[in-house]
């Protein structure tokens, strides 16, 4: 899931317009950004959930560091603390909490859609049962949930930007760019 996480960023931006959209887009994808170098190093990987499986929601992710519950609590806390220290003057007194929440929303959404492949502790220390409600097993429902986040993200972002931005032309351009990013990443998700 790429697009659903971006959708959350659009919704948060409409709620807290002082926060830069770029920061929210990155915050919504922190665990996947951490996953990239780890997968290149062969520590974490993606594979089909069943032999030959392809398309929407067909992947099993082995990401015992980037997607472990404790890692995500720590990454959210770190991101929130950085924003609180560096930018609370410009983005608002509770900006750190908002960014921390956006980072952690990635884990919550993944918990909903992933098959049980999410560790509690990094490296699956302690060998606790893996987590994941497996909504990807129900392709249509999962696509509906993600599609709703995408539509809400685009609509709320566009509404807020058109209302607040001093330049109508720029606001329309930004909104078109965000719509393109979210719709494009949703197509990537759907086609696997
Ligand atoms: Zn993820």
pLDDT tens track for 39-67: 999 999 998 888 888 889 888 889 999 99
34 CA distance to ligand 1 middle (Å): 9
45 CA distance to ligand 1 middle (Å): 12
110 CA distance to ligand 1 middle (Å): 6
106 CA distance to ligand 1 middle (Å): 6
Mean pLDDT value across residues 57-80: 95
Mean pLDDT value across residues 144-157: 98
33 CA distance to ligand 1 middle (Å): 9
For residues 147 and 186, the answer to whether their CB atoms sit within 8 Å is yes
Q: What is the pTM of this model?
A: 0.94
Residue 59 has a pLDDT of 86
Residue 50 has a pLDDT of 85
27 CA distance to ligand 1 middle (Å): 12
What's the token pair of residue 66? 């980037």
Residue 53 has a pLDDT of 83
For residues 101 and 24, the answer to whether their CB atoms sit within 8 Å is no
176 CA distance to ligand 1 middle (Å): 25
1 CA distance to ligand 1 middle (Å): 7
Residue 192 has a pLDDT of 77
Mean pLDDT of the chain: 96
Residue 90 has a pLDDT of 96
Mean pLDDT value across residues 143-166: 96
15 CA distance to ligand 1 middle (Å): 23
Q: How far is Cα of residue 18 from the mean position of the Cα atoms in its chain?
A: 20
Mean pLDDT value across residues 93-102: 98
For residues 119 and 130, the answer to whether their CB atoms sit within 8 Å is yes
Number of domains in the chain: 1
Residue 143 has a pLDDT of 97
For residues 132 and 24, the answer to whether their CB atoms sit within 8 Å is no
Query: Which residues constitute the domain of residue 169?
Result: 3-191
Burial class (CB in 10 A: 0-12, 13-18, 19+), 113: buried
147 CA distance to ligand 1 middle (Å): 17
pLDDT at 135 over 80: yes
For residues 3 and 192, the answer to whether their CB atoms sit within 8 Å is no
pLDDT at 146 over 80: yes
Residue 43 has a pLDDT of 96
**Cα 98 to Cα 110: distance, rounded to the nearest angstrom:** 19
Mean pLDDT value across residues 65-72: 98
């Amino acid at each position: 899931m790429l697009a659903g996480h971006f959708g959350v960023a659009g919704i948060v931006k409409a709620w807290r317009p002082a926060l830069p959209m770029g920061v929210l887009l990155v915050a919504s994808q922190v665990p996947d950004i951490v996953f990239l170098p780890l997968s290149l190093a062969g520590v974490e990987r993606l594979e089909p959930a069943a032999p030959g499986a392809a398309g929407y929601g067909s992947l099993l992710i082995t990401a015992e560091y980037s997607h472990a519950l404790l890692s995500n609590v720590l990454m959210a806390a770190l991101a929130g603390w950085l924003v609180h220290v560096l930018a609370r003057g410009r983005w608002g007194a509770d900006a750190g909490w908002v960014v921390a929440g956006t980072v952690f929303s990635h884990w919550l959404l993944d918990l909903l859609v992933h098959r049980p492949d999410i560790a509690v502790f990094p490296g699956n220390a302690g060998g606790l049962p893996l987590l994941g409600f497996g909504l990807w097993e129900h392709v249509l429902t999962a696509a509906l949930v993600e599609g709703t986040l995408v539509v809400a993200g685009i609509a709320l972002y566009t509404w807020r930007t058109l209302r607040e931005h001093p330049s109508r032309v720029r606001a329309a351009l930004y909104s078109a760019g965000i719509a393109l990013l979210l719709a494009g990443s949703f197509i990537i998700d759907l086609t696997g």
